[in-house]
Chain A
Amino acid sequence: MAEARKSLIKIKPKKFKDGEIVKVSFMVMHPMDTGTRKDKKTKQIIPAKYINSVKFNYNGKEITNMTVWESLSTNPVFTTYMKINGKGKLTVTYTDNTGEVNEKSKKIKPKG
């Protein structure tokens, strides 16, 4: 595990019931450098550094997996929907092209 990045999992609406379909957003602070851009001051090429894989895991089951290319914006956001299926944990694992692996998880507590 490399340096921890600032990341966030957001679920909308905040209060939800079992069986409800909710909106899940995952945000991460990441440069997403394409490797084709030059530093204006040093005239050096900024090496490529981008997320190439994101996985959403809910209670040990993979819900969504994504293959990401460098053309996503800096500090990317991934938004999708998810069906609540009991108490548990949502874990997002993301991998970098330089081999950096990070993880973020959020407890899921449906009410009612």
Chain B
Amino acid sequence: MQRRDFFKKLGVVAAASALAPSISFAGAPVSKNAMPYKEALNAITGGKVPTASSKVHLKAPEIAENGAVVPVTIEVDSPMTDSDYVKAIHILADKNFNARSIDVNLTPANGKAMFSTRIKLGGTQNVVALVELSSGEFLIATQSVKVTIGGCG
């Protein structure tokens, strides 16, 4: 090997190692349930386009110091009667390996359409509340959450 070639190869290696964080990220064990955001959204809505609505109140912190515990509360204005109720509330995080966090199926026996839990976020991203009404309509609300320490380490 000539000196010239050696330096060329060295450059390639250096470039590769600079990219290493992203490579090791892809090489890390990925969950079986991994599903990107768009796919997850399609799987839930079945191709229907959700409409942004002020009826859905999504409460999440703007800045989460710890991504492992991010409290999320979703409230929907709905009478919750047998003919008009919230069928399901889905919580999605658009940059997690598996965008889906939880699917909650509600019934009129709940009396009030509200759900609250704590989720893990891998980094700064949007938390999405997707609400399915009994009429088959989909409503959506989004909020960005800034995460200073990731939760899916």
Contact = CB atoms under 8 A, between A and B. Distances in A.
Interface in A41-87: 45, 48, 58, 61-74, 76-83, 85
B127 to A, nearest CB: 11
Contacts of B96: 71
B110 A83 contact: yes
How big is chain B's contact interface, by range?
A: 35 or more
B22 interface: no
Contacts of A67: 102-103
Contacts of A73: 68-70, 117-120, 151
Nearest to A47: B29
Contacts, number: 105
A29 interface: no
A32 to B, nearest CB: 8
A93 B120 CA distance: 23
A66 B29 contact: no
Contact of B109 (A69, A70, A82): A82
Interface in A69-109: 69-74, 76-83, 85
Interface of B: 28-33, 68-70, 73, 93, 96-98, 100-107, 109-121, 151-153
